[in-house]
Structure 1
Amino acid sequence: MTELRVAHTSQLDPAELAAARALLYDVFDDMSEDDWEHALGGMHALVSDGDTVIGHGSVIQRRLLHGGRALRTGYVEAVAVRPDRQRQGIGSLLMRALEDVIARAYDLGALGATDEGAAFYRSRGWRPWRGPTSVITPTGLVPTPDEDGSIYILPGPVPLDLTGHLTCDWRNGDAW
C-alpha cells in the first residue's frame, strides 16, 4: 500500500533522506551532489510502498525577480518516481502535495522541466516561461539562454508577464 508523507527536511530522519537520495541517483543519470543539495531545506513529498521510497519531490524557497519585484517562489526540485512504478499516478500524487505547499506559502511556483517531464507539468497547469532568463551571480547578471523554454511557472496571486524577463538567485551547480 502506498503512503504519502509531506515533511520539512528537518523532520526527515537520516534513513528517509538516504532513501530519497538513492532514488534520485537511481532515476537520474546526471544527478550531482549540487542537485541533491538544491532539494534540501524545504518541504518534501515522499511516496512509500511499505519501507521502500518509490517517489520524491521537494519545494524550496527561492527569490525570482520579475517586473521590478522579488517574488517569494516555491521552487520544485528532485521530482522522481522509481521507473517500475511510473505511470501509476505517483507523480501526480507528489505534485498535488507540492502544489498545495506552493499555493499556501508562495507568490508562485517554478521549476526547470526536462524534455520528458514538460508535458506532465503542462497537463497540471504549469505554464512555460516564454521570456528570457538570467541569474544573479557574484559577478553580476548573467543570461541563461540554455534554460529558456524549460522553466515552468505555476501562477499565483501576483500578475506575471510570461514573455518578460525572469531572473533567479545564485546557487552552486545549475542556476535553474
Structure 2
Amino acid sequence: MTKHLDEAAPGFRVRLRHTHELSAEFRGQLVGFLSEAFAGDFDADDFDHALGGVHVLAVDASGGLLGHAAVVQRRVVLGDPTPHSRVLRAGYVEAVAVAARARRRGIGDSLMRSVDRIVDRSFDVGALAASEAGKPLYLRHDWSFWTGPLGVLSPTGPRLTPDEDGSVLVRVPSTTSPIELSAPLYCDWRPGAVW
C-alpha cells in the first residue's frame, strides 16, 4: 500500500487507502477483522458495501489492524422521488469497527475525524446507518439523526423502509445548501441491508 494522508496518534497510525490499493491478502484479513469486531454479525453483502471507496485504517506499530471505516459513494434522493427531486452525492460510511482489544483508546474518534474530513471535502452529505452502540460516537462528531421517513429506490419502484427510521444519521458539510432533515430520504438499491 502506498503512503498518503497518514495521521499519527499515540500508539497507532491512521492511514487512508482506496479499495484498489488493498491487496487480496489484506482484503481477506479485513473480512476476518470485521467479522470478529462485529461478533459474527457481518456477511458478504456487508463487506461488499464497504468496497469501492476510501478505507480509513488504524494500525499499530507493527502494521496490525486496530480499526476500520469506509466511505463509499451512494446517491440519495431528498423528498419523494420525482423527475425534479434533489439528488445528493452521499459519502456513505460503512464497516466502522475497532478491535475489542483496542477499544476506549480514541481509535473510533480518530477514524471519524478522517471520515468527517472525507465527507466534508468530497460529498454533498454524509450518511450512515448506526447501531445503538455506535450512535454516541457519531453524535460526538456532529452527525445528526435523519428525522424524516426513509425509503429505497427498489427495482419495483420507491418504497418506504420504516424499520430503518431513527437509525440513519447524516452530516451536512458547510458547503452544501440547507437540507431539511424531516423530509423523506431515499437511498439507491443494493443487495442486503439497503441502509
- Give the TM-score, by structure 2 length: 0.87
CA contact (8 A) 1:168 1:175 kept: yes
| 1:93-112 alignment runs, 5 A limit | 93-112=110-129
Moved more, 32-41 or 115-124: 115-124
Which amino acid in structure 2 is aligned with residue 62 of structure 1? Answer: R
Quote the Cα distance in structure 2 between the aligned partners of 1:5 and 1:123: 22
Which amino acid in structure 1 is aligned with residue 66 of structure 2? Answer: I
Aligned to 1:23: 33
Which amino acid in structure 1 is aligned with residue 188 of structure 2? Answer: D
Structure 1 residues without counterparts, runs of 5 or longer? none
Is 1:113 aligned with 2:165? no
Bigger radius of gyration, 1 or 2? 2
Cα RMSD over matched residues? 1.0
Aligned to 1:32: 43
Q: Residues 21-79 of structure 1, C-alpha deviation per residue, up to 9 Å, x if partnerless?
A: 21110011311100000000000001111131110000000001004211000000000
Moved more, 14-23 or 52-61: 14-23
Quote the Cα distance in structure 2 between the aligned partners of 1:26 and 1:134: 30
Is 1:44 aligned with 2:61? no
- Give the TM-score, by structure 1 length: 0.97
Aligned to 1:5: 15
Q: Residues 141-168 of structure 1, C-alpha deviation per residue, up to 9 Å, x if partnerless?
A: 1110010000000012131111110000
3-state SS in 1 of match to 2:194: coil
- What is the aligned residue count? 176
Structure 2 residues without counterparts, runs of 5 or longer? 1-10, 80-84
The runs of at least 4 consecutive aligned structure 1 residues that moved more than 3 Å come to: none
Aligned-pair identity in percent equals: 42
Quote the Cα distance in structure 2 between the aligned partners of 1:120 and 1:86: 12
Which amino acid in structure 1 is aligned with residue 71 of structure 2? Answer: V
